[in-house]
Amino acid sequence: MTRYAGSCPIGLNILFFACCSIVFFSTINALADKCSQGSHFVRAHPRSAYERADGVFVSATHVTEHCRENPPGYSFWKKHVKNLFPSDWPRKDEKSRKWSTEEIERLLDALSSLPDELLRSKIRGIFRMKRSRDFPNPASTTPGTIVLYDDAFSDKRNLARVLAHELLHEYFRGMTKNDAESYRMTTNWYRFGDADGKVRWITRGRDSFVENDGMTSPDEDFANNVEYFLFERNKLKTTTPNAEGWISRRFGPGFRLRGAK
């Protein structure tokens, strides 16, 4: 006669799981308590290969639980990591996803590499969603909200670069009219009221854009150009020298990735 675990009295089963849970969580809490001030507890998790902010590839591994020194900005950004679907998100057909330990660690790491100028934005939350309606788009933003899709964590993406780009959209939205106009003038953007009543942008030639989608608006052009300033400055210098000059003047000589020379 086979005796199944399920044939035990229900009360005993509940007691068994409760005991196991208490032992499990108290062990974790004990470890977490051991982490000194200025560091945080990281649960054991599998980690996929990825590209670090500085372009170095990190191989896949199984990370054991440990205490980790808080990266710069940790206490600020940790509370902005949100699991729910953002209430004002316009794309209701997209689906939210719970952050994994690995993703949170990578996110906080990536944010810590960005220059302070980008972090002084009015971001209310960084949300995690499954697949973009515009796949393979890795991320998207509305005022105050950043959404990272599955593709942002692909090994083909540099997460710090993706985040920098989205934070730059927020930065551009918060710029004064004078500053935004100064950028548009330097980079040849003109607003034009069309004969059919549409408002469109007229701009410089295709060859002077680091990415084609920069031609859609000054906002996108700005996010692309500052992203390239931080991650591929030589390409920006060659393709759009006037933008490179403007960014250099606005942000000053110290504007670079943390740790970069």
Secondary structure (3-state) at 124: coil
Report which secondary-structure segment, H or E, holds 190: strand 190-193
Contacts (CB under 8 A) with other proteins, residues 220-249: 220, 223
Name the residue type at position 160: A
Q: Of these, 6, 9, 11, 90, which contacts other proteins (CB under 8 A)?
A: 90
* Closest CB to other proteins among residues 133, 235: 133
* Closest CB to other proteins among residues 58, 215: 215
Structural contact between residues 208 and 240, judged by C-beta atoms closer than 8 angstroms? yes
Q: Of these, 3, 56, 64, 192, which contacts other proteins (CB under 8 A)?
A: 192
Q: Of these, 104, 111, 139, 159, which contacts other proteins (CB under 8 A)?
A: 139
Count CA atoms closer than 13 A to 234's CA, side-chain side.
0
Structural contact between residues 79 and 65, judged by C-beta atoms closer than 8 angstroms? no
Positive or negative, the Cα torsion across 62, 34, 107, 249?
negative
CB of 176 to other proteins, least distance (A): 7
Q: Of these, 176, 234, 252, 254, which contacts other proteins (CB under 8 A)?
A: 176
d(CA 222, CA 211): 11
* Closest CB to other proteins among residues 42, 226: 226
Asked if residue 72 has a cis previous peptide bond (ω within 30° of 0), the answer is no
Footprint of other proteins on this chain (CB under 8 A)?
90, 132-134, 137, 139-143, 165-166, 169, 173-174, 176-178, 181-182, 185-186, 188, 190-193, 195, 197, 199, 202, 213, 216-217, 219-220, 223
